[in-house]
Amino acid sequence: MIAALYLRVSTDEQATTGLSLAVQEERCRARAVEDGCAEVTVFRDEGFSGKSLRRPALEALLAKLSEYEAVYVWRLDRLSRKLLDQITLATDFVGQGIRLVSVTEDIDYSTPEGRLHLHLLGSIAEYEVEQLRVRVDAAHRHRLEQGGFLGKPPFGYTFCRDEDGEISPGADIVIVPKEAEVIRELFRRYSRGASLTELAQDLQAREVLGRNGGLSWTSSRLGLLLRSPVYIGRLPYRGDVYEGRHEAVVGPQLWERVQARLEERARIHPRSRQGSLSPLLRCGVCGGHIRRNPGAHSTYLCGTRRNLPPEDRHPPIHCSVAAVHAAIWAWTERLVTGGVLQEAAEEAAERRRALEQSGEHQAVRDELAECEGSIERNLDAYQAGAIDLRLLTSRNTSLLRAREEIRTRLREIAPPELPAHIRRWAVRQTATSLSRLRQGPLGEQREWLARIYTQVELQGRAIVLHHRLPGIPPKRVRLPRYYSPKRGLTDIPLD
């Protein structure tokens, strides 16, 4: 009889129980010889978990299974720790007329009694794995609740060492100053408009070494790095976030700005990130998204119109890509270098100061606070059982409507200001830098323009630019009937 011995041990098992491959082979070989096997082939998987069937030696055994008459294992859980996998493998062996023998359990699974034991022992093995998973998860969460870090420190951190330079069990992580400066630079530059690809290429060019001493900086790796809440002192674990004991590398406001930009870019189709301004554009008729129609005479079209019922479709919008780009940049140059943006910022700041001095702004805020207080008191009364749900709904419906109206008035009399760092950044731009940017990749142009405009509407023969800075009304710019990029921006009428 020709037999195969399958041996498996995980690293943890060998360290804690001493269950080595040599011990398994000795017992399995002795049993095979006792059963009259004349030839034995050994398949070994060392350091592999039993939770998966993707193991080199097991896959090799299954590929040559028809060559053997019997398979010997130390215990059934050497094949798998999952009941379903155990049953599947055992059924496959028996179905091909191959004996499956567990040496230490003294069971031949080709018999009815053996198959009964298969189900019982398999259930116990799977239960043990599930219990271990629960215990490990509980231990991990307990450490996280205490603010302790799990796993390998990310770039920018290392484990705290004792006086002898050794890492003690449960050591906290501390900042690596040189790496932390790189992290802060990446967060600042990305929040100001740099792309992930640009940042990765820069790190490669400067030969900035990563955690393992390599130069494997990629845009996907930087995306994961910038999304990690570890850098603001938090610890993520299976969908939950815990407060860590370690020091943060960046502030929460900078981190939030980076997350907002990452989320915004994730909604943009990959082809549009570097090849189109379309994510910034909207249809001026239906408000739908704009798509770029490639070809010799490239145009921007309404991408929503064709999805509407025929009776609801508006007339098609066809705008020359070159003309739209020229119109946007013609007004942008006037806006930034002509002082329009700075004047509007100063007027908006003066308006807010005047409102605060007049007391109008505070009066509306007090009115809003009183309305919200009434809503809270009604909720407290409902929770205390003083009023029922119908009365609560009746009282709060009008209050909720009034609260939205007050919030609208508050936004109208005191609109939010464009952040100061954005205003300063825009003022520093020159006609030369704008011209250089206008000749660069469209993805970089779009991200730069998105700092100034919330969106740009296409209206067939004109575009309407909506500014981020309060106090500047939307600007309508007519598109020339015929436009050639060779003419530059001089043919774009701005008045």
Summarize pLDDT for 62-91 with one digit per residue, the tens. 999 989 999 999 888 888 887 778 877 887
Q: What is the pLDDT of residue 91?
A: 77
- Choose, from 10, 20, 228, 374, the residue flagged as catalytic: 10
Q: What is the pLDDT of residue 271?
A: 58
**Domain ranges across the chain:** 2-132, 157-161+169-267, 272-342+420-487, 357-413
Q: Could you give phi then psi for residue 107, rounded to 5 degrees? A: -130, 135
Reading the block at residue 324, the tokens are 């739209």
Summarize pLDDT for 221-237 with one digit per residue, the tens. 898 999 999 999 999 88
Q: Is it the case that residue 270 has pLDDT exceeding 70?
A: no
How confident is the model over 51-61, as a mean pLDDT? 90
How confident is the model over 241-260, as a mean pLDDT? 90
Of residues 97 and 118, which shows the higher confidence score? 97
Q: What is the pLDDT of residue 201?
A: 85
Tell me, what DSSP letter sits at residue 487? G
Of residues 287 and 225, which shows the higher confidence score? 225
* Integer CA distances (angstroms), 214 to 203, 217, 316, 344, in order: 11, 8, 53, 48
Summarize pLDDT for 154-210 with one digit per residue, the tens. 999 988 887 777 777 778 889 999 999 999 999 998 887 777 888 888 888 888 887
CA 303 – CA 305 distance, rounded (Å): 6
CA 324 – CA 447 distance, rounded (Å): 16
CA 289 – CA 330 distance, rounded (Å): 23
Tell me, what DSSP letter sits at residue 289? B
Q: What is the pLDDT of residue 4?
A: 94
Strand, coil or helix: what is 237? Answer: strand
Summarize pLDDT for 405-445 with one digit per residue, the tens. 887 777 666 655 555 655 666 666 666 778 888 888 787 78
Nearest Cα to Cα of residue 491 among 351, 353, 375, 320: 320
How does the average pLDDT of the chain come out, rounded?
82
Summarize pLDDT for 368-378 with one digit per residue, the tens. 888 888 888 88
Determine contact, residues 413/362, Cβ cutoff 8 Å. no
CB-based contacts of 67, cutoff 8 Å, min separation 6: 2
Determine contact, residues 316/302, Cβ cutoff 8 Å. yes
Q: What is the pLDDT of residue 72?
A: 93
| Domain 2-132 and domain 157-161+169-267 have a common topology | no
Residue type, 104: T
pTM assigned to the model: 0.51
Which CB contacts under 8 angstroms, 24+ apart, belong to 408-413? 409/364, 410/361, 410/364, 410/365, 410/368, 413/355, 413/360, 413/361, 413/364
* H-run or E-run covering 358: helix 340-358
Least confident of 225-229, 259-263, 361-365: 361-365
Reading the block at residue 307, the tokens are 């999805």
Give me the residues paired with residue 243 across strands.
234
Q: Is it the case that residue 126 has pLDDT exceeding 90?
A: no
Instruction: Provide the 10 A C-beta neighbour count for residue 9.
Output: 24
Nearest Cα to Cα of residue 77 among 42, 33, 107, 111: 107
Nearest Cα to Cα of residue 49 among 90, 14, 100, 18: 14
Is 219 catalytic? The answer is: no
CATH of domain 157-161+169-267: 3.90.1750.20
Q: What is the pLDDT of residue 15?
A: 43
CATH of domain 2-132: 3.40.50.1390
Q: What is the pLDDT of residue 47?
A: 85
